[in-house]
Structure 1
Amino acid sequence: MINVAIIGTGAIASALIKHIIFFKIDVRLALFVTFILKRLKNGIRF
């Protein structure tokens, strides 16, 4: 029972860590895309 609990918490922790890493990557990609779109709009304006 104790080993199962340790494995379960480890799996939950690893899933959370992966989710946080992917979330950070998504945020960076979104910021990068919005930055490029703003630059393109400014370029089109000028």
Structure 2
Amino acid sequence: MLASLKKEWAEFNPRGKDIVAYSVQVGRIGEDAPREPVGDNVLTFAWI
């Protein structure tokens, strides 16, 4: 089981910025537009 998990994780690029499944986007009151979305790949590897 651990070997299969390692194989699946190896497919992800830790420096990739592509959105795979979801993203987070923030904005502030008074700004014209929200900031660029942060993809799930970036959030995952930042947390790990």
Task: Provide the TM-score with structure 2 as the length reference.
Answer: 0.26
Structure ranking higher on relative contact order (CA contacts 8 Å, 6+ apart): 2
- The structure in which a higher percent of residues are helix is 1
Task: Provide the TM-score with structure 1 as the length reference.
Answer: 0.27
User: Max radius of gyration: which structure?
Assistant: 1
